[in-house]
């Protein structure tokens, strides 16, 4: 899946999650009290330190400079992406991503220039690799400083961190400078998305949680996740069907109240959601017109009875 769609996908998928702030517990978020507390901590750190630094960086650094920094770290990411491509048996994609690394690292001067822009950039990590091999996501968790994850993605984050090319740099000060620069560059890229978050989110925590879970699920299935069937949909089917399995009297399905987290579609942007069987009232079948061979109905006689 192209990384160009990642952040717009996160915002669009999460918008529906803001429709309600009801108290229904999300089974994917059993640690919600802790997670909300950690979210508040991360948000406070961001507002006090990271966001002001990112805003200053975005103001002072010229656009071409910001683009070069982003390209450099993007090229480093492509190395891990290529490795995870292979681990997921996506060999054609691995060849494309490996070619990007080769061209951008040489002709693009260590990736500062994206000379391989004609080749699609993909987003793969070890968390997705674990999902490819059948490892479930586990509960949602908010990590200090690192933000939203699942248990599976937390393990993937550890593996990706140890496998990062930056760790090969022997100079600790230089390595730390790269970590800080990357963090600021990433945060600067999210400033515009934050405006959408502020305007749309009734509950920022729910917005981010639902958006993250939907985004990760979409990435696992390369943008084509199967449509989840929720418990309220199953209950609606049961209430509207007779023991024989048919809708009683052609009634429409009963609409039940749905938690906000269940309203978010799992379909990627720009694709229609598969529809189930049509449960609307069947159209009335018109009877065939009587043929000449059929006897006509008796008409009342206008002659007086004899």
Q: What is the pLDDT along the chain (306 residues), one digit of tens a residue?
A: 444 444 444 443 343 334 344 557 789 999 999 999 999 999 999 999 999 999 999 999 999 999 999 999 999 999 999 999 999 999 999 999 999 999 999 999 999 999 999 999 999 999 999 999 999 999 999 999 999 999 999 999 999 999 999 999 999 999 999 999 999 999 999 998 887 887 776 889 999 999 999 999 999 999 888 887 655 554 444 344 444 444 444 433 333 333 333 333 333 333 333 444 444 444 444 444 444 444 444 444 444 444
Would residue 294 count as lying in a domain?
no
At 249, give phi and psi (nearest 5°). Answer: 65, 20
Residues 81/127, Cβ–Cβ less than 8 Å: no
pTM of the prediction?
Answer: 0.66
244 and 117 share one domain: no
Cα 70 to its chain centre, rounded Å, is: 22
Would residue 278 count as lying in a domain?
no
Would residue 303 count as lying in a domain?
no
Alpha-carbon span 131 to 221, nearest angstrom:
9
Which of 167, 201, 220 is the endpoint of a domain? Answer: 220
Which of 166, 195, 220 is the endpoint of a domain? Answer: 220
149 and 251 share one domain: no
Residues 66/185, Cβ–Cβ less than 8 Å: yes
124 and 75 share one domain: yes
Q: How many domains does the chain have?
A: 2
Residue 50's domain spans which residues?
A: 3-220
């Amino acid at each position: 899946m192209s990384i160009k769609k990642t952040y717009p996908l996160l915002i669009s998928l999460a918008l529906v999650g803001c429709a309600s702030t009801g108290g229904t517990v999300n089974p994917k978020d059993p640690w919600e009290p802790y997670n909300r507390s950690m979210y508040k901590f991360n948000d406070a750190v961001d507002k006090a330190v990271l966001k002001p630094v990112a805003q200053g960086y975005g103001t002072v650094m010229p656009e071409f400079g910001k683009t070069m920094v982003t390209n450099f770290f993007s090229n480093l990411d492509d190395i891990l992406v290529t490795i995870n491509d292979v681990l997921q048996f996506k060999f054609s994609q691995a060849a494309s991503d490996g070619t990007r690394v080769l061209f951008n690292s040489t002709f693009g001067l260590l990736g500062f220039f994206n000379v391989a822009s004609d080749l699609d950039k993909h987003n793969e990590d070890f968390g997705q690799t674990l999902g490819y091999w059948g490892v479930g996501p586990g509960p949602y968790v908010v990590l200090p400083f690192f933000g939203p994850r699942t248990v599976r993605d937390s393990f993937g984050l550890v593996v990706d961190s140890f496998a990062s090319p930056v760790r090969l740099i022997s100079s600790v000060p230089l390595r730390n400078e790269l970590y800080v620069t990357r963090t600021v560059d990433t945060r600067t890229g999210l400033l515009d998305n934050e405006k959408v978050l502020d305007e749309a989110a009734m509950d920022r925590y729910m917005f981010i949680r639902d958006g993250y879970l939907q985004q990760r699920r979409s990435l696992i299935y390369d943008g084509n996740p199967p449509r989840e069937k929720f418990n309220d949909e199953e209950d609606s089917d049961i209430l509207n069907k007779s023991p024989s399995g048919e809708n009683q009297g052609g009634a429409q399905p009963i609409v039940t109240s749905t938690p906000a987290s269940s309203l978010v579609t799992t379909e990627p942007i720009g694709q229609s959601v598969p529809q189930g069987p049509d449960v609307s009232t069947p159209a009335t079948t018109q009877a065939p017109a009587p043929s000449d061979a059929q006897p006509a109905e008796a008409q009342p006689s206008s002659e007086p009875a004899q």
